[in-house]
Amino acid sequence: MEGSVYTVPMALFDFIPVILFGISGRLLMRGLYNKMSKGCFACLDLGVCVSFLAGFLKALYKLLIATGVGNYPLLNRLFLPLQSTGLLLTGLSIVLMLALRKKAALAMAPMTFGFIGMMVLGLGGMCAGLSVVAKKMKKGWLIPIFVLCFFCYMGMGYLGARGGDSAADNWIEQGVNTLGQILLLIGVSGLHRAGLREFKLS
């Protein structure tokens, strides 16, 4: 649409981190299916799907504007609540998996923090949990990758929350997002190749 900062290449580029996250999520679900209770796996499945939907809708929002089809702000407004909820569920499922394996008592306090807090908690839980799994599998070289992935996600969240509307801001935000998704895919693929599906958590 005339006057929009979004271009078709930019909008199509937005789909890359979405696809990378979808692949990583699929590998995680395959690898952790036999290690989780049905409730934990449902939490992981839902979290991955909701996070994927959030990214897809935002990328679609930009593509519709860039191609002149129309401006549908609801697609953009849904991103933060869906992404934060999805990542929280994803991280929580992995933390619960590890906690329940150790038969640890888990007290869940009422959640009164906002969407950004949910995202930080979910991402922290996911990356920390996957780092613990990597250590148990003696794949310590993957831990820095998950740590860097976490900081990329935080950087993307900060850039998104800042609300920059320029083309440069959008390119930087999605560049950081794509880097984070590449790191996540490298980490999850490393676990997958190391035999995550067959590995028994102690």
Distance CA 63, CA 6 (A): 8
Distance CA 189, CA 140 (A): 14
- Taking alpha carbons only, the member of 5, 17, 10, 13 closest to residue 185 is 17
This prediction has a pTM of 0.65
For the beta carbon of residue 182, count every other beta carbon within 10 angstroms: 17
Measured CA angle at 74 (ends 43, 170), to 5 deg = 90
Q: How far is CA 49 from CA 24, 79, 110, 136, 156, in A?
A: 12, 13, 24, 27, 19
The tens digit of pLDDT for each residue in 79-138 reads 888 988 998 899 888 888 887 765 543 444 343 345 666 677 777 888 888 898 898 888
- Quick check: helix, strand or coil at residue 68? coil
Distance CA 76, CA 15 (A): 14
Query: What is residue 16's predicted lDDT score, i.e. its pLDDT?
Result: 92
Percent of the chain with pLDDT over 70: 84
Contact 184, 129 (CB under 8 A): no
103 contacts: CB under 8 Å, gap ≥ 6: none
The tens digit of pLDDT for each residue in 41-77 reads 999 999 999 999 999 999 999 999 999 888 989 998 9
Phi then psi for residue 5, to 5 deg, are -80, -10
Return the domain boundaries, the chain. Answer: 8-193
